[in-house]
A and B are shown apart, each in its own frame.
Chain A
Amino acid sequence: MKLIGTCKISKNGAFLNGKEVELFSSDTENWKKECYTNLNLDYSKFHKMDSLAKMAFLSTEIIKKEVDLSKYDENELTLLFANNSSSLTTDLKFINSYEVKGSPSPSLFVYTLPNILTGELAIRNKWYGENCFFIEEKFDVEFFLEQINFYFSKGSNACLCGWVESNKKNEECFLFLIEKNGKENIKEQLTTLYKQ
């Protein structure tokens, strides 16, 4: 397999293939909106997304600046995502909507599953391949590589993978694109780029 590209975003900055891209000020509270604006995107559904979906969406759009993701047939790209906190941030907002505000919010309820973000990416990019979202204790390269190998054995030719986390302490997304053809030892590369 071969590592095609990576993107890591958090309030500390955006990094494409390990190099910082100036898309927002690191001290801004609305860094995701600033990033969206500076990417010159026009996708109004973005504003309704929860934090997980926004980060996965923005990371994908940043990678698309360098990699032509439309080259993949609609079924050959697999989406593999994981995090530790599931959709906890939105779950708490949803609970607040009916316990405090008096009525369960349908627009929050939509995002009370973390795998909704894979649906958002699929709709945006017209990807109809496999997708999975795992809950893991921490970012684990070996776990991702096991899953990637499985999906490559089932016919996928590329995997867009992401560790995307949103909780009170941390908001980050590390996205990486792997292609089937190639012989690279990507474990070390990914570990280094994630720690950046």
Chain B
Amino acid sequence: MSDLKQTLKEQIIEQLNLEDITPADIQDDTPLFGEALGLDSIDALEFIVLLEQNYGIKIADPSEGREIFQSVNSLAAYIEKNK
């Protein structure tokens, strides 16, 4: 699980073009949206692409996104459950 979280942090940085951010800047429970990383609805689209391309997971109900994309912890848990 910890390997998955580390990989996710690297993929988030790559997918969202956060050039100045390192994996160490993202804590497992850092809220991904809002103040900490400044992510917004455009970035939610990037997360959907990231899940499809890297894990073959399609989010059928977009309203689930708010909960799934809350943090690296929640993303990892969702991937583990649905892969």
Report which A residues bind B (CB closer than 8 A): 30, 32-33, 36, 43-48, 93, 102-103, 105-108, 110
Contacts and interface: CB of A to CB of B under 8 A. Distances in A.
Given A102-B53, A105-B15, A107-B16, A47 B21 contact: yes
B49 interface: yes
A45 B20 contact: no
B79 interface: no
Contacts of B38: 43-48
Interface string B39-79: 10011011001000100000000000000000000000000
B20 A32 contact: yes
Interface residues of B, number: 18
The interface residues of chain A, by DSSP majority, are classed as helix
Contact of B45 (A30, A33, A93, A106): A106
Contacts, number: 43
Interface of B: 15-21, 35-39, 42-43, 45-46, 49, 53
Contacts of B35: 44
A43 B35 CA distance: 8
